[in-house]
Amino acid sequence: MTHQLHLRKPLAFFDLETTGINIAKDRIIELCFIKAMPNGEVIVKSQRVNPGMPIPLESSLIHGIYDDDVKDAQPFKSVARTLAQFIDGCDLAGFNINRFDVPMLVEEFLRANIDFDMKNRRLVDAQRIFHLMEPRNLSAAYRFYCGKELLNAHSAEADTMATLEVLNAQVQKYEGLATKDEAGREVTFANDVDFLHNLAANNFVDLAGRMIYNDKGVEVFNFGKHKGVAVLDVLKKEPSFYDWILKGDFPLDTKRRLTEIRLRMFSKKA
């Protein structure tokens, strides 16, 4: 395989499969680097690594890699130096790498005591280019699903009617097809409002997402010094944090939901 990219230095495309999406706690189990060279040559390096921890079933169901598949593989630390040499002097590219793959890769290198320098590397994210170049607005959805141009866009009635037509067309197009929800679970697309709600439901406690539910269904803060810490624990150990939020420039809905959690704490004490 060759490529037509105009390159002054190698561009390493890569993708990672991992035990989960927590950068600090999860580990890489499979990696693939495809190095596009300035002369048009393409060099592929792909391998599995032993994460040193069990692979959660929910992750295995997504990427199809189970504990037995990596039990005899080398740990990342054993391949880290060779990998770092393979991509030495390369810029990096991938699909949605900025938010996950790059931080995860750098974290694994640091655990292996390799200071993987990102300062002089350019990052090319094909997903960002896709979203920038192909509009993801209502007019584009109306054109894609309904085959029509949206006239009077940004008038409330035209936009609302177009949204009804788009959702109607989506249900007709996808009903009965297998897909994955936001949590990565396999689901069958259904013409049902409960299903449509759950398909892309977020884990926000408040509408602004200042508090979210963690994977155990516990409310945790999603910002600042207490990010990831259970709201109830913070309220117990640092009661002044509640007052700071109530007096601060936070949405009323956030303050309301925080107050509900605080009242629940008091009712439990009673």
How many Cβ atoms from other residues are within 10 Å of residue 218's Cβ?
14
Query: SS3 of 180, please?
Result: strand
| Domains of the chain by start residue, with CATH | 11-129 (3.30.420.10), 138-199 (no CATH), 211-269 (no CATH)
232-261 residue pLDDT tens? 999 999 999 999 999 998 888 999 999 999
Stretch 114-119: mean pLDDT:
83
C-alpha to C-alpha distance for 263 and 267, rounded to whole angstroms: 6
26-53 residue pLDDT tens? 999 999 999 999 999 999 999 999 999 9
Indicate whether 110 pLDDT > 80: yes
Question: pLDDT band at 270, cuts 50/70/90?
Answer: low
Which phi and psi angles does 171 have, rounded to 5°? -60, -45
Pairing label, strands 211-213, 11-18 = unpaired
- Take residue 214 and report the two structure tokens written for it: 């963690």
C-alpha to C-alpha distance for 125 and 131, rounded to whole angstroms: 10
pLDDT at 99 (0 to 100): 80
pLDDT at 269 (0 to 100): 63
> Where does residue 228 fall: left (phi above 0), alpha (psi -120 to 50 degrees), or beta otherwise?
left
- Take residue 159 and report the two structure tokens written for it: 């936009």
C-alpha to C-alpha distance for 201 and 248, rounded to whole angstroms: 28
How many Cβ atoms from other residues are within 10 Å of residue 106's Cβ?
16
